[in-house]
Chains A and B, each alone.
Chain A
Amino acid sequence: MCNARLPQHGIGESSNVVTDQQLVARCIAGDRLAERALYDAHVERVYRLAYRLAGDADLAQDFTQETFIRAFDRLGQYRGDASLATWLHTIATSVSLNGMRSVTRLRTRSTPIDDVPELPATTVRAAPHDLRERLHASIDALSVKLRPVFVMHDVEGFTHEEIGNTLGIPVGTSKARLFDARAKLRAALAMFAGDATT
């Protein structure tokens, strides 16, 4: 749970730290300060997640904005079953993945054949810094099911419970997908395995 800080409004409040429920109630009541407090409390993680999934600053900005616009519109639907952060991450993931699907479709249709980068015909022993590039390309190549789990867990540090709540999948499924994702990456980077162990 991520508690936000905002100026006191009521008598008897000993602290200016408010819970998710209080913050949401104030936002629904039209409190602009509460809205800004909610935004400040969660924007960083939402933006980071959006950027990790999109890999593009403009797209990440669009996805983050859309996430908060939707969240403010639907605050009345927030029931408090999960934390506000998880609820926001669910929206952010949905917005980002759907947005990426549209962007990928668009790019696939509009990219001229000459712009497609040439792949090396033979595998050469890569220099250490190539591990990152290959790894990033391999993460990009993961399936729509595996990539969000890998990014959220291994890159952004979400727990399997958080991933499960955010993506609407059981914890076991999240673990299985992470296992699969790592296995695929390991296979894709097999040529670096010897370097890693030495």
Chain B
Amino acid sequence: MMDDNFDDLLRDAAQTYNQPPEIPREAMWAAIERGRAERAVLPIATARRAPRWLTAAAGVAAVLLVGFAIGRMSRGPVASPATVASATPDAPRAVPLSSSPAPTSVTPESSTREVEATPSARRLASIRESRAAGLRLRTDRANSAEQLGDQASYRMAVVEHLARTEVMLAGFRSQVRSNADARVDAQFASLSRDLLATTRLLLATRRGDDPAITRLLQDLELVLMQLSQYATDGRRSDLDAIEQSMEKHNVMPKLRSTIPAGFSSTSGT
């Protein structure tokens, strides 16, 4: 009862809380019309906001980019010019890095070329450098697997390599089928050479008694060799030879059956 009385008192007293004065209707209406007119003539750049999905996508892309950059940085130092020189297509076999500083291993001839390098030459050198870095990385991985004598590590490296090869071959076939007369992208040429080098390394350092894997790597070596040849020369006969090799050796079905389900070329380390 006491509470009821007090609540009534509260309610009565509350009516005076922030009691509004007379409403300035016309002044507010004028201000509203002004405000709407001002907002209607905002510059397009200010008024048009990016859709929410685009903002989210940009955020995701930024995160991926940062992650990718961190991943690249954590892979170790960039290959020195000595490695670059040894990893060019003319000398596909990887040579161990010398312990001497990089500049001392550069010949006078090559240094002259560097001085006179055009932008395209520099770009080519940069591509070679990155390719060499990748080759060195894979060499290191293969070497480390050898040192450890760990079959599981070797198997992991093989599976990762097979996954990358499968993606590349699928992309290659898709491009050839959609545009048979045109030459394939230059990326296939470089990629197939890289994969060929890795295939040979894996064959050379194999740590397993699985003859199926060995046979598959040998088949891949043949197909990748033909593919790198075709990507360079662009002869139709090479293309037919690639198709025949792949069909004859059942390369794609074997690849897909060897790669574990759910494994992607990017999921490996």
Contact = CB atoms under 8 A, between A and B. Distances in A.
Interface of A: 36, 39-40, 43-44, 47-48, 51-55, 57, 60-61, 64-66, 68-69, 72-73, 131-132, 135-136, 139, 150-151, 154-155, 182, 185-186, 189, 192-193, 196-197
B2 to A, nearest CB: 5
Contact of B18 (A55, A154, A197): A55
Contacts of B14: 135, 139, 150, 154-155
A177 to B, nearest CB: 15
Interface of B: 1-3, 5-7, 9-11, 13-18, 20-21, 23-25, 27-29, 31-32, 35-36, 39
Contacts of A131: 9, 13
Contacts of B21: 51, 57
A155 B7 contact: no
A72 B32 CA distance: 10
A148 to B, nearest CB: 12
Given A182-B7, A197-B5, A47 B23 contact: yes
Contacts of B1: 197
A154 B6 CA distance: 13
22 contacts: A40-B25, A43-B25, A47-B23, A48-B20, A52-B17, A52-B18, A52-B20, A55-B18, A57-B21, A61-B28, A65-B32, A65-B35, A69-B39, A72-B32, A73-B39, A135-B13, A136-B18, A151-B18, A154-B10, A182-B10, A189-B10, A196-B5
Contacts of B31: 61, 65
A154 B9 contact: no
Nearest to A151: B17
Contacts of B13: 131-132, 135
A66 B29 CA distance: 11
A72 B15 contact: no
Interface of A is mostly: helix
B32 A135 contact: no
A47 B13 CA distance: 21
Nearest to A56: B18
B16 to A, nearest CB: 6
Contacts of B3: 186
**Which one of B1, B2, B16, B18 has the highest number of Cβ atoms from chain A below 10 Å of its Cβ?**
B18
A51 B28 contact: no
Contacts of A151: 17-18
A40 B14 CA distance: 27
Given A65-B31, A151-B17, A135 B10 contact: yes
Nearest to B31: A65
A139 B6 contact: no
- What 4 A-B pairs have minimum CB-CB distances, sorted nearest first? A51-B20, A55-B18, A196-B9, A196-B6
Given A65-B31, A69-B39, A54 B23 contact: no
A141 to B, nearest CB: 12
Given A53-B18, A154-B11, 17 more contacts: A39-B32, A43-B29, A48-B23, A60-B20, A65-B32, A132-B13, A135-B10, A135-B17, A139-B17, A150-B14, A151-B17, A182-B7, A186-B6, A186-B7, A189-B6, A193-B2, A197-B6
Nearest to B18: A55
B35 A44 contact: no
Contacts of A69: 32, 35-36, 39
A153 B51 CA distance: 38
B33 to A, nearest CB: 9
Contacts of B16: 132, 136
